A = this chain, B = another copy of it.
Amino acid sequence: MSKNLEVSNLLDFYGGLLTDKQRETVEYYYNDDLSLGEIAENLGISRQGVRDSIKRAETVMIDMEEKLGLVKKTRELRRSLDTIRHNIDIIDERNMKVYRSNAINESIKVILKELDRLSNE
């Protein structure tokens, strides 16, 4: 696995399933962009130990994603929420410009609040 966003994504979901050492090495490597040598020095373990720890962490997380698919499901959820928000904006604009309904406006506010809450999770 190359250094990429994917591992940061996996870490967000499955970081809690790693050992402290696995999580530390992976975060140093992928989030902080340290070299294997730098991580080895920081943690007082061998370069090969760092490499093994990262490899094991990746295997755990990729295995979990295959079984639970949280990264994929969350991506799909965000896409749906974006579609809903886009259409709420259309309704909102239409209502503001033409109909000026308080009832519609109140419901839009509640929906936008829920969408914000879901987007921040």
What is the interface of chain A, defined by CB distance below 8 A to chain B? 13-14, 16-17, 67-68, 70, 73, 76-77, 80, 83-84, 87-88, 90-91, 94-95, 98-99, 101, 103-104, 107-108, 110-111, 114-115, 117-118, 121
Apart from A14-B68, A83-B114, what 15 extra A-B contacts exist at CB < 8 Å?
A68-B68, A73-B121, A77-B77, A77-B118, A84-B111, A84-B115, A87-B107, A87-B108, A88-B111, A90-B103, A91-B103, A91-B107, A91-B108, A98-B99, A99-B99
Assess the A101–B103 pair: CB atoms within 8 A: no
Chain B residues within 8 Å of A87, by CB = 107-108, 110-111
Q: In the complex, what distance in Å separates the CA atom of A16 from the CA atom of B83?
A: 30
Q: Which residues of B contact A99 (CB under 8 A)?
A: 98-99, 101
State which of B17, B104, B118 has its C-beta within 8 Å of the C-beta of A67: B17
Would A83 and B101 count as touching, CB distance under 8 A? no
